[in-house]
Amino acid sequence: MNRRQYLRQIARQSLIGQSPCEPPHRPLAALCATLPAWARSAGTRLLLVLDQGNATLNEDQKWGSVIAAGIATGNADLIQAVLRDAEVRIPHQTRDLAQRAAVASLLAQQPASDLIAQEEPPNEPGAVPPQDQEAAAMALFSLAAAAAWAGQVDLLSRLHAVRAGGVRDGAINSILGIAHTLAVIATILNGGTPGNTAHSQGHPLAS
């Protein structure tokens, strides 16, 4: 049994040994508990940021970006934990939108909001364009995915798309910080060190 498996076993045992009166650990917290001792501060910071209120981000923006960034890391355990945590925090429509944005962001060399404009059929006069309703969220989720993956994607154009959608720099900085922390955690889970970009190598979306 290697160190990672040993830490996971400890995490499982701690869940089993909890009192029935105590709520179970959330999936993301349980996964962060499996990080090596020297790296657990990254998990602690992430959980604090996700749990604290943010005047510049609503829950849909925050957790949708977490989903997109988590998917972009390519780490299956992290993706599963993020998706399970998000289930009780945001509606399935936002979760689906974030997953679409992550895939679009990593497969295309253009902002996901541009893809919506290309794919949606023309609207009847006077109708509210569907892309106007989703473009800002898609752009933000696309930026989070691109920042977490750190592969060969156009990060600058996604940043411009987010700003054009009315998202303020404070919210953008929060999302970029979350995406970076998720990338660091994925790198550690993959057996690398924070200074490496191992999470961007061999990603299933890059093949």
Sequence ranges of the domains in the chain:
27-122+129-206
> Torsions phi, psi of 24, nearest 5?
-70, 155
Quick one: 27-122+129-206 is in which CATH superfamily?
A: AhpD-like (1.20.1290.10)
Residue 143 neighbours by CB distance under 10 Å: 31
Helix residue ranges per DSSP H, the chain: 3-16, 27-32, 40-51, 59-73, 76-87, 92-107, 112-119, 130-149, 155-164, 169-189
DSSP state of 26: P
User: What tens digit of pLDDT does each residue of 56-108 get?
Assistant: 889 999 999 999 999 999 999 999 999 999 999 999 999 999 999 998 888 76
Work out the burial of residue 166: count CB atoms within 10 Å of its CB; fewer than 13 is exposed, 13-18 middle, 19 or more buried: exposed
User: What tens digit of pLDDT does each residue of 133-179 get?
Assistant: 578 899 999 999 999 986 667 788 889 989 988 888 999 999 999 99
The first and second tokens of residue 87, run together, are 């289930």
> What pTM value is reported for the model?
0.73
CA 25 to chain centre: 19
